[in-house]
Structure 1
């Protein structure tokens, strides 16, 4: 946790506070999301289709060493997301996807780079055909979960009519440093078969997310909700714009509305979190509901969003220079991190 001191001019320019004779102090917490790119262990689980994971496709003699390097790399990134710009602490809350099971999460949070933060884990085994799940990590000293639940997405093959098993959505409610918040962690269906053909599956996923948001808001219209994940859609696609009705302009977000700070990053600045065939996509996003946009900083409010795309996370050479530096390619371990950049938001609260 860090206490921020804003001089009067910064308060006026950036936070729109009334100018007065006092210097204001703020707590700041980082909330992040990261696609961990195939974080599988080295053990063949006969109940799962994990033998197709990149690690299990390697020679058995190399698996343990690669796994240790992969976990260390992921721990390094998670420990550093959002640090240095406004915060000195690792994220208070981290949503993750593409993880095989609870064991890999335990190995991750027990890595020396994260161990001192005492992260808790919320994870449910899901039905995904690739055996990958979503999960939530949280610093126990900063966030206390009060409820968690897993919500299935039923989608079907458009040719055979058979069910396609994909990731569940994770809903976690709790108190962030005393404030009630809700977090929905997503990993929506991929674009396999093409964007247009696969689009209905992501629209269906967005409808599940929207139902969760509606349910929370029916109990409390002022619920503070963060929607995060690898959506496999950009902020301008129908799933986000038409189903979630996320807005790029804060002024257009009404009570029960959703603000997406990543739309303008994508549409106006051309930024992305993953790249394919020399085109950037911004699939990884964190959206917030209207109560997090209010200017009364007596409780936590949204301050800023970002993409954590430090130089060491980008491919340094070759055909994919400048792309996210992925862990696995051409059947081997690259020494990289993930084929996605992490995303994060800062939440701030005024303190006495």
Structure 2
């Protein structure tokens, strides 16, 4: 029976299948020439770079459970798990949400079956209702020696059209998340262990996170609150000036991990050990240049020695 659980999340940046893969005409039109020359060799390079970072986590043991976003389909995830195993890492299983996103990118979890298990009846996709399709919230109930740990993966609507112009979409996602946290607690008990991970495209202090997802830095509010508050574990890192994504020379803490009341008070059987971490910074950074080294997507911007435009984040739970 493991006494700890290492959970990580990573926006792996445009992990698309090869250019010749089967796609709808609509999706081909949206992607345009972005995938020109995205052949098997380029994809293999991308997977190898991702695998290096994943295998380096957890002191070289790799995560027990890893959430990912910006993946096109199950095929690229199977290839990623094969690469990880070939590089000496764990033999992960895949649980994947085939979402209705306009660009065809999904949310998924990789998990070590020696540590955790799940089944199709414990996997749920929760729609975020907006005019233009976006990624659903992806809930997976994992079982660890008879104890349930619920993971909710997120990839909220981007800021592409402007931070404030697009904010209502993330507010909608935040309200949707809070609704489902409350429903999970009703179904599985107020003290069930829930870990919310993702790329929220907002920061811990933005309204979508604080007022609608009910995520806070105040442990007392989580423990005493009648509402389904979440403890946002990124505040200490945010206070240090760190971030997971660099945009126009400014750090953003877009990738976050939040935990439920049952983890904060320990009544779920799990508690947070230490603090949340940003992973892969040494490996993914270039000398004298801030930010993670991107792999890129479009033909003119690809860097086969790159990784992603986001750093991964992680946390350890202890029984």
Would you call these one fold, judging by a TM-score over 0.5?
yes
The alpha-carbon deviation at position 310 of structure 1 amounts to 2.4
Specify whether residues 36 and 53 from structure 1 end up closer, same or farther in structure 2 by C-alpha distance, changes over 3 A only: farther
The alpha-carbon deviation at position 39 of structure 1 amounts to 0.4
Partner of 1:322: helix, strand, or coil?
strand
| 2:35 counterpart (51, 54, 57) | 57
| 2:123 counterpart (120, 135, 148) | 148
Provide, for residues 141-196 of structure 1, a one-character-per-residue CA deviation record: whole Å limited to 9, x for no partner. 101114001112121xxxxxxx2111111110121344211010000000022111
State the number of aligned residues: 307
Unaligned runs of 5+ in 2: none
Instruction: Name the structure 1 match of 2:194.
Output: 225
In 2, distance between residues paired with 1:328 and 1:315? 15
Residues 314, 322 of structure 1: 8 Å contact kept: yes
With structure 1 as the length reference, what TM-score do the two structures score? 0.81
Instruction: Answer yes or no: is 1:326 the counterpart of 2:294.
Output: yes
**Which deviates more, 128-137 or 167-176?**
167-176
Residues 210, 243 of structure 1: 8 Å contact kept: yes
Instruction: Answer yes or no: is 1:240 the counterpart of 2:213.
Output: no
| 1:316 counterpart (278, 287, 301) | 287
The alpha-carbon deviation at position 217 of structure 1 amounts to 1.0
In 1, distance between residues paired with 2:132 and 2:301? 28
The alpha-carbon deviation at position 280 of structure 1 amounts to 0.5
In 1, distance between residues paired with 2:110 and 2:77? 8
In 2, distance between residues paired with 1:213 and 1:206? 11
Within 5 Å, give how 1:1-352 maps onto structure 2.
27-42=3-18, 43-47=20-24, 49-50=27-28, 57-59=35-37, 63-81=39-57, 83-84=58-59, 89-111=61-83, 112-113=85-86, 117-146=90-119, 147-155=122-130, 163-219=131-187, 220-254=189-223, 256-266=228-238, 268-294=239-265, 299-303=269-273, 304-316=275-287, 321-328=289-296, 331-334=300-303, 335-349=305-319
In 2, distance between residues paired with 1:243 and 1:205? 8
In 2, distance between residues paired with 1:109 and 1:50? 26
Partner of 1:103: helix, strand, or coil?
helix
Provide, for residues 96-147 of structure 1, a one-character-per-residue CA deviation record: whole Å limited to 9, x for no partner. 0000000000000011356752211111211111110001111011011140
Provide, for residues 306-326 of structure 1, a one-character-per-residue CA deviation record: whole Å limited to 9, x for no partner. 111421211335xxx111111
In 1, distance between residues paired with 2:23 and 2:111? 30
Larger Rg: 1
With structure 2 as the length reference, what TM-score do the two structures score? 0.89
**Which deviates more, 89-98 or 111-120?**
111-120
Aligned-residue CA RMSD in angstroms?
A: 2.2
Specify whether residues 271 and 33 from structure 1 end up closer, same or farther in structure 2 by C-alpha distance, changes over 3 A only: same
